[in-house]
Amino acid sequence: MWNERYSSKDYAYGSEPNDYFAICLAKYSPTGKILCAAEGEGRNAVHAAKIGLDAYAFDISEEGKKKALQLSNTHGVSINYAVGDFLQMDFTKNSFDATALIYAHFPPNILSTYHQKIASLIKPNGLVILEGFSTNHLELRNKNPKVGGPKKLEMLFSIESIQKDFKDFEILELEEVEIELNEGLYHNGLGKVIRFVCKKKVS
């Protein structure tokens, strides 16, 4: 499904970074290495590289990688992009200064494990930046399928599920908000999202 979506000429979620991701990078100014999870066509990783971060990304889609490298070439930056299933990937623990989970929705049986692995890769004081659809988004999606997002409730986020998955982190921002999305071909209209930033505590 993802390879098919990404094999078109257009960028599925646009070629501009997600608004909240860009705002958080400007606000918290992380430096060093950032890992963009389930990064698709690379819009966030390319933005991170453009502002001087050492950008890493991964996704299961080979077509996503091709589009991401095309976008990075267009902007004259380089990104490190791995293709595969995150749970099988060999990233070094405590090695990233920040991670981004932008619309990184996974099946319920692996979602918490995914978040635990992300948490393990961040350095003490490192950041997690997340924006994703909330459980209350389904109603809006049913009214307007063009806004996109998973159809399954269990793949969506809630304030409680995020607090649980990142319980050892210092929460800097966590809210559920209604926003107007205008991202490429597949995120258009009113959506309900969780916006979250947290910092790994120094143990």
Ligand X SMILES: C[S@@+](CC[C@H](N)C(=O)[O-])C[C@H]1O[C@@H](n2cnc3c(N)ncnc32)[C@H](O)[C@@H]1O
Residues engaged in binding ligand X (CB under 6 A)? 2, 13, 18, 38-40, 43-44, 59-61, 64, 85-86, 102-104, 106
Q: Report, in Å, the least distance between residue 112 CB and ligand X.
A: 14
Q: Report, in Å, the least distance between residue 202 CB and ligand X.
A: 28
- Output 86 or 169, the one with its CB closest to ligand X: 86
Q: Report, in Å, the least distance between residue 195 CB and ligand X.
A: 14
- Output 129 or 198, the one with its CB closest to ligand X: 129
Which contiguous run of DSSP H or E holds residue 36? strand 33-37
Q: Report, in Å, the least distance between residue 28 CB and ligand X.
A: 18
Q: Report, in Å, the least distance between residue 188 CB and ligand X.
A: 13
Q: φ and ψ at 201, to 5 degrees?
A: -70, 150
- Output 103 or 166, the one with its CB closest to ligand X: 103
- Output 64 or 191, the one with its CB closest to ligand X: 64
- Coil/strand/helix, residue 54: strand
Q: Report, in Å, the least distance between residue 129 CB and ligand X.
A: 11
What is the distance between the alpha carbons of residues 59 and 1, in angstroms, rounded to a whole number? Answer: 13
- Output 86 or 96, the one with its CB closest to ligand X: 86
Q: Which two tokens stand for residue 57?
A: 């990304």
CA distances from 195 to 14, 48, 102, 172, 200 (A): 19, 18, 10, 10, 17
For ligand X, which residue has the nearest CB?
A: 40
Please, which residues have CB within 8 angstroms of residue 68's CB and are 6 or more apart in sequence? 39, 40, 41, 42, 45, 46, 57, 59, 79, 81
CA distances from 33 to 1, 15, 57, 121 (A): 30, 21, 11, 11
- Output 88 or 203, the one with its CB closest to ligand X: 88
What is the distance between the alpha carbons of residues 57 and 133, in angstroms, rounded to a whole number? Answer: 21
Residue 68 is classified by DSSP as H
